[in-house]
Amino acid sequence: MDAGMAPLFDDGRPEIPGGVDGAVERVLVVGAGIAGLTVANALAHAGVECVVLEARDRIGGRLHTVDLAGSRVDLGGSWIHHPTGNPMHRFAQAAGIACRPATPLPTLTGFDCATGLRLSHDEVEATLTPELDGFTRALGPLRTQLGPNASAADGIEAFLAASGLTGDPLRRAAQGLRANVEADAAGAAERQSLEWLWTQEEYGGDYFGVQPEGGYATVVDAMAAGLDVRRDWAVSGVDVADGGVSVTSQSGGTERGSHVVVAVPLGVLKAGRPQFSPALPVERTEAVRRLGFGRYEKVLLAFDEPFWRRVGWSHLVLFTPDAAEPASWVLDLDAFGGGPVLACHTFHSATGHLGSPAASTRWVMDMLSGALGAPCPEPVAVMVTDWAGDACAEGSYTHVPPGCSNSDLDLLGRPVAGRLLFAGEHTQSARLGYADGAMTSGIREAKRLLGTAAVSLGPLSSS
C-alpha cells in the first residue's frame, strides 16, 4: 500500500505531542508487538528510516496466533472490543482482513462445581447481568463510601453485603464480579484500585465485538509487512546522548539512531530490562514499580468434534467452590468459526490451579466432566499459556493498584531527554489493557516524531 493511498489515523487526540529533540533521521524501535509495529509502520509510510528490534523469533508480542490441531487460536488477545470507531477494526478493514462477530453472551450457560447445579442461559443472565449492572452503577457511591485507597475487592464485598444475597447465589455473584474485574485488570481484585476501575474510554458497539478471521496474526502481519524487523535481537541496553541513541543486544550487537522508541511490556520494565543510560528519572521508575502487571491465562483443548453441542451448551461459566476465586469462562471457539476447540479463560486469582500442561488440562477437564455429567472426552491437542513465565512479557497486561492513579500510566508515555520515547498499553490511560490502546500509543509516538496530527497506516509493499 503506497503512503498516498494509506488511510490516516490519529490517537483520538487533536494535538501534536511534543518533547522531541533533534532531527528525526533513523528511529530504533525496541519490541515488535502491535505498539512497536504501529510506530514503525507510520514512520515507514512517512519515509523515515526505522529498524524494529525484537527479542523473540516471532513478531506480535502478546498477540500470538498458533495452529492447534488444525484450528487457528489466539494465545493472547483475541477480540477487537467495542469495534465501532475503533482504530484497530478500521485498520483491519482497510487491510482487507475479514472480522466476525464473536460474543458468547447470547448462548452463555453455567455450571456450579460446588453444588453440581446447571444454570441455563436465562439463569446465568439473571445471576450475572443484574449484579454487574448494579455494581457498575454503584461505583460512584462505593468510591465515596470506601475512600481512594479501596480495592475492587473491597467494593465487591460492600456492594454484595447490601444485595440481600446469601449462600451459593452470593458466592456465584461474587465470583462473577471478580471474573469481570480480573479479566479487565489482569490482576487480583484486591490489587485493583476501586477509584480507577473501569475508567477507560470506550468506542462504540458490543463489548466483545469482533475477532479477525485467522486470528490476530492477520492484523500483526499486515502491520509488519515491508518493515525492517530484526528477530532474535534481545536488547540489553539503551544509551541516550545529545547527538543520538545507541542500542546494544545481549549478543554484543549495536544499532545507532537519532531516536529510540521502547515498546516492551510493563512486566519487562519492572524486571529491569533493558538497562538505560543515563538512568530513567526516579518518578518514572517509581511509577513502573507501583503499577500492577498480572496474569490472564488460557487452557486450550482441541477435540475431534464439538461434542458439547450434543448436550446443549456452547459457552460456559464455571463457578468453583472457592468464593475468593473468580469464575472461569470456557468459550466454544467452534461457535466463532474457529474449529472444535474449548478455551478456558483463567483469571489471575485462579491461575494457581495452572501448572504443567497435564495438570492444567486435568483441572479443566474435571470441571467439564462435572458440567457434562460424564467423563469429558480426551482432547487431541492441548496448549496452556504462561505469559507470567515468558521473559519477553512477564505477565499479561497492566492494572492500577490502590494508591496509584491513571496519571502514572500517562507519565510512562512521556519522552525522556528528547530522544527516548515509550509506547505500549501501559503508557496511556484511555484504553489500558486493550490491544487497540497499544496501537494508539504507537500512533501517538509516530505523531510526536513526525510532528503531524495524524499518520498513515497500512501494509507496505516489500519491493
Q: What is the pLDDT of residues 80-132, one digit of tens each?
A: 999 999 999 999 999 999 999 999 999 999 999 999 999 999 999 988 888 99
Q: How far is the C-alpha of 131 from the C-alpha of 160, rounded, in Å?
A: 8
The average pLDDT across 351-361 equals 95
pLDDT at 1 (0 to 100): 58
Q: How far is CA 186 from the centre of its chain?
A: 8
Q: Which of 191-200, 440-449, 453-462 comes out lowest in average pLDDT?
A: 453-462
Tell me what percent of the residues of the chain surpass a pLDDT of 90.
Answer: 95
127 or 400, which is more confident?
Answer: 400
pLDDT at 232 (0 to 100): 98
Report yes or no on whether pTM surpasses 0.75: yes
pLDDT at 429 (0 to 100): 98
Q: By 3-state DSSP, what share of the chain in percent is helix, strand and coil, each rounded to 5?
A: 35, 25, 40
pLDDT tens digits, 215-266: 999 999 999 999 999 999 999 999 999 899 999 999 999 999 999 999 999 9
Does residue 462 register a pLDDT over 80? no
The average pLDDT across 298-323 equals 95
Question: Which residue is associated with the grid cell 447481568?
Answer: 129
Whether the CB-CB separation of 53 and 264 falls below 8 Å is answered with no
pLDDT at 127 (0 to 100): 83
Helices 87-94 and 435-450 cross at an angle (nearest 10°) of 80
The average pLDDT across 151-177 equals 96
* CATH code for the domain defined by 104-205+295-389: 3.90.660.10
The average pLDDT across 174-197 equals 97
What is the DSSP-derived secondary structure letter of residue 336? G
pLDDT band at 463 (very low <50, low <70, confident <90, very high): very low
**Where are the chain's structural domains?**
8-61+81-97+212-292+399-456, 104-205+295-389
DSSP per position, 156-195: HHHHHHTT---HHHHHHHHHHHHHHHHHHHSS-GGGSBST
Does residue 394 register a pLDDT over 90? yes
For the domain made up of 8-61+81-97+212-292+399-456, give the CATH fold: FAD/NAD(P)-binding domain (3.50.50)
Q: Can you point out the beta strands (E) in 75-223?
A: 99-101, 108-112, 117-119, 210-212
Q: Assign residue 31 a region: left if phi > 0, alpha if psi is -120 to 50, beta otherwise?
A: left
> Mean pLDDT in the chain?
96
CA quadruple 225, 226, 230, 235: dihedral sign = negative
Q: How far is the C-alpha of 90 from the C-alpha of 142, rounded, in Å?
A: 37
Whether the CB-CB separation of 379 and 294 falls below 8 Å is answered with no
Whether the CB-CB separation of 99 and 85 falls below 8 Å is answered with no
pLDDT band at 311 (very low <50, low <70, confident <90, very high): confident
pLDDT at 4 (0 to 100): 59
Does residue 33 register a pLDDT over 60? yes
Q: What long-range pairs does 66-72 form, CB within 8 A, spacing at least 24?
A: 66/383, 68/300, 68/302, 68/341, 68/381, 68/383, 69/302, 69/339, 69/341, 69/380, 69/381, 70/302, 70/339, 71/302, 71/333, 71/338, 71/339, 71/340, 71/341, 72/214, 72/215, 72/217, 72/338, 72/339
Whether the CB-CB separation of 276 and 420 falls below 8 Å is answered with yes
